[in-house]
Structure 1
């Protein structure tokens, strides 16, 4: 991975984006310290790749929302003791 300074990136953004579209990656620095990475977007997500390989199955329905928590007083141990009575 090559390194490019922030100012250098600003002045040659088009060239760097072209490089990234060809598969090259850059570490962007500001005052000599790494602050970000400029990397190509993967063609497919990990899930899409696994589904294409037949190693996973895509979800058939959207994820359900989490249940609303039930308010309770006391510790978990107290609640378990109460439920056992």
Structure 2
């Protein structure tokens, strides 16, 4: 498996060439100012999550997400609340 890292500008300027590389099996990591932001992989290749699911280490959720609880209203900072809990 070939892996390439390219910046956004290089991807934009050579999109057809880079997509041809992906079609041939290359995995491309796209960076923005040196920080990885996206990965382009060939269709049909398993993602990390798909590998974990196949191995039985992860299961996908079967129902809807539960609603978040109502926020707690308080005066003071989180640090104050933690300090109070420690006393």
Q: TM-score, with normalisation over the residues of structure 1?
A: 0.50
TM-score, normalising length from structure 2? 0.49
State which structure, 1 or 2, has the greater radius of gyration over its C-alpha atoms: 1
